[in-house]
Structure 1
Amino acid sequence: MTNDTWFIPRGSRSEDGWTDVVDDRIDGWTHTGLRTGTVTDGGELRLASAAVERIVVPLAGSFHVAFAGSAGTGSQSLEGRASVFDGPTDVLYLGSGSSATITGSGRIAVAEVPTDQVKASTYIARQDVPVELRGAGQSSRQVHNFGTPAALDAVKAIVCEVITPAGNWSSYPPHKHDTTVPGHESDLEEIYYYESAVARGVDAPDTAEPFALHRTYASDDRPIDEFRQVRTGDIALVPYGWHGPAVAAPGYDMYYLNVMAGPDPERVWNITDDPAHGWVRQVWESEDIDPRLPYGRKNA
């Protein structure tokens, strides 16, 4: 992978049982990381003690995490969910210096952000995850803010996940957070981990191939030009630049997990809209939220 190609197809960075590992060994990548993996009955995934804070996020399935370190020692069951389109999940924050062993059955993601500062390991229950319906009309999406400053006392990490119904645009209007302007814009790397599935209530043939679209383009003299078709397990990195839209193709719901952090002393997500497209926010004032939202448990 070179620093002018910020796309990681599923399975292209496998390591130690993990499906993919993103960290600072990628040229030009410094402030964020991500691990994705699958645990089978009787198997396990391990997290070595390191100077990183982590958030363990069940994607599909249920898990048990045994952890130890200066941030706390103990064990925590994660109820999880049937799929990423089943509403929010409970999550576990592991403070810097923690080691952990993950058992259970299903797919899991671990957001990672380098830091020497230690915050206490914390469990966030499903019912305590703030759920936000953002945008309106065809820009409607559902955000689970379990790892944002309002919900979690972390050092650097800003983590959330977004569900976008089929045919809608997300991460829109295109925006950036690649320059420090106190009170106006933050300097943050961002990871997008994607999943896509046949839309709820749609009877699709077995040959269906769910996908979504991701876009990143230059905001200054730093070159970047990414326009990708993404499928379940693919990862897009945004080191800088305008990013968006992320588009859910008709017939296919889209999910992405965002991991953000940067060099700024303040842990805050301040963005600047692309001035060519920021005006679309005004249109939302006369539109309703997509009636398909919110997504929760299918049997709820």
Structure 2
Amino acid sequence: MPKTSARLLALLSLLQTRRDWPGAMLAERLDISPRTVRRDVDRLRELGYPIVAFKGPEGGYRLDAGAELPPLLFDDEQAIALAIALQSATTTGAGIEEAAARALNTVRQVMPARLRHRIDALQVTAVEQSTLRPAPQADSGVLMAIGAAVQAREVLRFDHTSGTSPRRVQPHHLVTWGGRWYLVAWDLDREDWRTFRADRITPRTPTGPRFTPRELPGGTVTAYVAAKFRGAAVAGDWPCHGEVILDLPASAVSRFVRDGLVEELGPDRCRLVLGSWSWHSLAAAIGRFDADIEVVGPPELKAAFAHLARRFTAAATG
């Protein structure tokens, strides 16, 4: 017979998987006597779990909703936040969709009625970003292993699908970007910062020695990752910047410019300073405005407009 603590956890787990459990079936699943089941139910009740007994041909037990959520120790707002997060878990790319659904059902089952009504009224439909190919799912065990190494500040050794294995890195952050999980780390062999897709990592054990964290370029992981994925060499800056004058009101342009500078030059004229990861992408971004364009500079931007003009002309003439 398993120890009392392990048996109680097993009993609680069973009670959370279905609404009604006949006592005889619980005894059979746990390989204990019906009398021991009754004693264990009483122990769980003492811990705060609202377990009720029901009568009938197959009398048994039910994990019911209570006035509070012991011993999870969540307040109302925390419980609601947890339920919403679990509904949105399908877009995390962590391969936890089924587990999140089961966890949501477990949490909802022990919620007080006032919280269940609020959650049921807020049905979240998580829509993933449309892509030609779905983002590969990262294994939750891999994410846990990476997260543990980050937390412990221990050198992480892993195999990578690129074939350059094994890699030795000082793991600093586990981040999500565009539906994928990435490890931000200092590569010990290349002596430089690198980002690795978690779905391409197979951690090795044991981990290496502890290390003192380095300072990330840009100061924060948010600034570093944002710069990394837009091709900027320095956090907070684009590799390509250009200036143009558009025959449009500043108010019509500023609504569609996130991190650029728009200056009003008249009622139907404005100056636009914008950045991008390449000159061609910058020219294309400016070209989306339906207006005449005067390029102030630099020459690389003029050359990019000329290149796109030739390409578009060829497309138009077949």
Relative to the length of structure 1, the TM-score reads 0.23
Q: Which has the higher contact order (CA 8 A, sep 6+)?
A: 1
Relative to the length of structure 2, the TM-score reads 0.22
The structure with the largest helix share of the pair is 2
> Larger Rg: 1 or 2?
2
